[in-house]
């Protein structure tokens, strides 16, 4: 713990007149996991991009890797013993583990020279074994679980670094953002193993509990400044939040609204989808019903099946007297069935469309094809929607892609809130959403329930489910195994039954 793997001093980066980073100092020691936290826009990505050579910092910045000063702009970072692993890992699904392992190092040969297949395989197995991961090198990546994928990505980076150096700095950019609790705890364990072998690990994230669980030290960025760096011990979410937001957050979760108030309206029986295999439940207006489970157990399909996004194999689902499984999506939307998909970039938004065009889409889809669109009125509607639901900046003509993750999610929700949903279906509503926006997103769910909507949320974030839901159903292998309510509804109880304990 005495050598610094990565030492950044005086790093600033300006875009136009504003500082994305302002005189940042950051150190990651050998054998340490150093978490870098901050809201979207705090400067995390800018810092990561400086370490990948995409951005060049302002003059005066210094970078030392394992005691060696390295000049900016950073080129061929791997030659200096640093690797940045992005959230999407950059693995090729159809190719095998060993093929993926060698691809960034050109399989250790020249362009047209034959690949030493046996040597590649041995090296692949050895690298994975160092991380206590045992996978057949001929498995296609598409069959690996998230933790194995992460291990492969780290091992691959290490392979590239090994040719130039024998001590390593790994920067992992949001490696767990799209994983459930089980998978992310395995990735975190992996990071621990990597650090214990003497590497310096920088872990960029905004999931607070994880950070407390694994990091040795925590640094918090806000508005381009490192506002706090401290040694991790126990639950410090209060301190982290204070540093991230610049104010204390009195509550992490909105107050739970009253439960179901009237007769049950949503009735689902023997629903069968791809993974869901015979699920039955009812829910009422005003109720927030959670679905939990490990990745791939079927809970994530429920919102898609009920919204018509995914076709059910068999079963019945009715809202009042309407049959949800037979109606086209447009009719379901008119009934008030609204879906907030998990992959908002792909399924929830038109990234290059403006905020105005995105929030007014349901109207476009239901009006006559050749009636004139009144852009001025749309703009008014859009600005008031953006303002009402706290989408920042309140700029209806700005492209959706230019908003932060949290604000994009609020935009997707705002689009539906205007339609007064009766059944609001959500998959991972707070994924990739920072702490401040997460509260607002959850508040929108509570608000919808308060106004009488039935809210169905599938999520791998058990803590969140335990806080906002009236009832949580846990799925294993496509079937409901547990129903948790009242005092029995805790994060630990969800996790236990998700894992079949």
Partner 1 sequence: MSTDTASAAGEAAQLEHLTVPAGRRRGALMAGVEQYGLVVICLIGFGVFSLLLPDTFPTVGNVKAMIESQAVIVPLAIAVTLPLRVGDFDLSIAGLMVAAGALLAQLTTHGVGLGEAMAAVFGLSLAVGTINGLLVVKVGIDSFITTLGTMTLLGGLAYAFTNSNVITGLPSDVLTLARQNILGFPSIVWVGWVLVAAAWYVYEHTPFGRSLLFIGGSREAARLAGLNVDRLRISAFVVCSVISGATGVFFAGSVGQLDPSVASQFLLQPFAGVFLGATTIVVGRFNALGTLVALYLLVIGVTGLQLYGAQPWVSDVFNGAALVAAVAFAKLAARANAQRR
Instruction: List residues near partner 1 by CB under 8 A.
Output: 15-18, 20, 40-41, 43, 45-46, 49, 86-88, 307, 309, 328-330, 332-333, 339, 341, 345-353, 357, 361-373, 375, 392-393, 395, 398-399, 401-405, 407-408, 415, 432
- Per the rule left: phi > 0, alpha: psi between -120 and 50, beta: everything else, 258 is beta
In the bound state with partner 1, the residue whose beta carbon lies nearer, of 106 and 365, is 365
Minimum distance of partner 1 from residue 118's CB (angstroms): 33
Minimum distance of partner 1 from residue 392's CB (angstroms): 8
In the bound state with partner 1, the residue whose beta carbon lies nearer, of 6 and 425, is 425
Minimum distance of partner 1 from residue 168's CB (angstroms): 22
- Do the beta carbons of residue 385 and residue 394 sit within 8 Å? no
Minimum distance of partner 1 from residue 407's CB (angstroms): 8
| φ, ψ at 86 (rounded to 5°) | -85, 165
CA proximity to 450, closest of 259, 254, 253: 259
Minimum distance of partner 1 from residue 55's CB (angstroms): 9
In the bound state with partner 1, the residue whose beta carbon lies nearer, of 58 and 363, is 363
In the bound state with partner 1, the residue whose beta carbon lies nearer, of 40 and 482, is 40
In the bound state with partner 1, the residue whose beta carbon lies nearer, of 353 and 452, is 353
- Do the beta carbons of residue 74 and residue 53 sit within 8 Å? yes
Minimum distance of partner 1 from residue 60's CB (angstroms): 20
> Token pair of 309, please?
């996004």
Query: Residue 323 class from Cβ within 10 Å (0-12 exposed, 13-18 middle, 19+ buried)?
Result: exposed
In the bound state with partner 1, the residue whose beta carbon lies nearer, of 110 and 372, is 372
Q: What angle, rounded to 10 degrees, do the helices at 146-162 and 181-196 form?
A: 20
Q: Which residues of 418-432 are buried (b: 16+ CB within 10 A; e: fewer)?
A: bbebbbbbbbbbbbb
In the bound state with partner 1, the residue whose beta carbon lies nearer, of 161 and 338, is 338
Minimum distance of partner 1 from residue 349's CB (angstroms): 6
> Token pair of 248, please?
């204390």
Q: What angle, rounded to 10 degrees, do the helices at 146-162 and 117-130 form?
A: 110
Can you tell me the distance from the alpha carbon of 284 to that of 288, in angstroms, rounded to the nearest whole number? 9
Can you tell me the distance from the alpha carbon of 452 to that of 7, in angstroms, rounded to the nearest whole number? 54
In the bound state with partner 1, the residue whose beta carbon lies nearer, of 130 and 347, is 347
Query: Residue 136 class from Cβ within 10 Å (0-12 exposed, 13-18 middle, 19+ buried)?
Result: exposed
Minimum distance of partner 1 from residue 350's CB (angstroms): 4
Can you tell me the distance from the alpha carbon of 494 to that of 483, in angstroms, rounded to the nearest whole number? 9
DSSP 373: P
Minimum distance of partner 1 from residue 193's CB (angstroms): 26
Can you tell me the distance from the alpha carbon of 501 to that of 403, in angstroms, rounded to the nearest whole number? 41
Can you tell me the distance from the alpha carbon of 335 to that of 324, in angstroms, rounded to the nearest whole number? 9
In the bound state with partner 1, the residue whose beta carbon lies nearer, of 408 and 459, is 408
Q: Which residues of 51-84 are buried (b: 16+ CB within 10 A; e: fewer)?
A: beeebebeeebebbbbeeebebebeebbebbbbb
Minimum distance of partner 1 from residue 67's CB (angstroms): 30
Minimum distance of partner 1 from residue 217's CB (angstroms): 24
Cα–Cα distance list, 49 to 19, 54, 73, 209, 476 (Å) = 15, 5, 11, 25, 40
Instruction: Give all strands of the β-sheet with 169-173 in edge-to-edge order.
Output: 82-85, 169-173, 200-205, 33-37, 217-222, 225-231
Residue labelled with tokens 């906002």: 468
In the bound state with partner 1, the residue whose beta carbon lies nearer, of 11 and 297, is 11
Minimum distance of partner 1 from residue 316's CB (angstroms): 22
In the bound state with partner 1, the residue whose beta carbon lies nearer, of 262 and 369, is 369
Query: Residue 410 class from Cβ within 10 Å (0-12 exposed, 13-18 middle, 19+ buried)?
Result: buried
In the bound state with partner 1, the residue whose beta carbon lies nearer, of 79 and 399, is 399
Can you tell me the distance from the alpha carbon of 406 to that of 431, in angstroms, rounded to the nearest whole number? 9
């Amino acid at each position: 713990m005495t050598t610094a793997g990565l030492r950044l001093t005086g790093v600033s980066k300006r875009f136009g007149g504003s500082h994305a980073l302002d005189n940042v100092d950051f150190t990651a020691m050998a054998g340490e996991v150093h978490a870098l936290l901050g809201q979207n826009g705090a400067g995390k990505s800018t810092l990561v991009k400086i370490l990948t050579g995409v951005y060049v910092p302002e003059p005066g910045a210094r970078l030392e890797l394992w005691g060696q000063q390295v000049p900016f702009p950073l080129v061929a970072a791997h030659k200096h013993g640093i690797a940045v692993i992005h959230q999407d890992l950059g693995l090729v699904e159809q190719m095998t583990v060993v093929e993926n392992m060698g691809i960034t190092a050109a399989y250790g040969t020249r362009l047209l020279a034959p690949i030493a297949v046996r040597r590649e395989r041995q090296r692949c197995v050895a690298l994975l074994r160092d991380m206590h991961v045992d996978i057949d090198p001929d498995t296609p990546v598409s069959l690996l679980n998230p933790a194995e994928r992460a291990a492969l990505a780290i091992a691959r980076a290490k392979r590239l670094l090994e040719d130039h150096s024998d001590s390593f700095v790994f920067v992992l950019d949001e490696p767990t953002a799209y994983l459930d609790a089980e998978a992310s705890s395995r990735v975190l364990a992996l990071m621990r193993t990597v650090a214990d072998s003497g590497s310096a690990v920088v872990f960029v994230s905004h999931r607070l509990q994880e950070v407390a669980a694994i990091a040795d030290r925590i640094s918090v960025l806000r508005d381009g400044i490192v506002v706090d760096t401290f040694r991790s011990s126990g639950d410090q979410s209060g301190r982290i939040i204070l540093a991230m937001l610049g104010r204390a957050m009195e509550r992490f979760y909105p107050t739970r609204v009253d439960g179901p108030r009237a007769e049950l309206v949503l009735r689902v029986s023997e629903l069968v989808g791809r993974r869901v295999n015979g699920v039955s439940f009812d829910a009422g207006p005003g109720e927030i019903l959670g679905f939990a489970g490990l990745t791939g157990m079927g809970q994530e399909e429920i919102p898609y099946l009920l919204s018509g996004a995914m076709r059910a194999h068999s079963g019945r689902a009715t809202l009042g007297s309407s049959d949800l499984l037979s109606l086209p999506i447009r009719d379901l939307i008119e009934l008030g069935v609204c879906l907030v998909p998990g992959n908002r970039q792909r399924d929830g938004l038109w990234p290059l469309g403006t905020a105005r065009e995105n929030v007014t889409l349901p109207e476009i889809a239901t009006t006559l094809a050749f009636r004139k669109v009144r852009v001025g009125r749309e703009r008014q509607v859009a600005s008031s929607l953006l303002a009402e639901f706290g989408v920042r900046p309140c700029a209806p003509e700005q492209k959706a892609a230019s908003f932060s993750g949290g604000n994009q999610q609020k935009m997707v929700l705002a689009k539906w809130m205007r339609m007064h949903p009766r059944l609001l279906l959500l998959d991972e509503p707070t994924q990739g959403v920072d702490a401040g926006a997460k509260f607002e997103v959850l508040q929108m769910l509570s608000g919808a329930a308060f106004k009488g909507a039935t809210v169905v949320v599938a999520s791998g974030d058990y803590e969140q489910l335990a806080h906002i839901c009236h009832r949580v159903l846990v799925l294993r292998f496509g079937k409901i195994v547990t129903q948790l309510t009242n005092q029995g509804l805790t994060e630990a109880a969800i996790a236990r039954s998700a894992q079949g304990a």
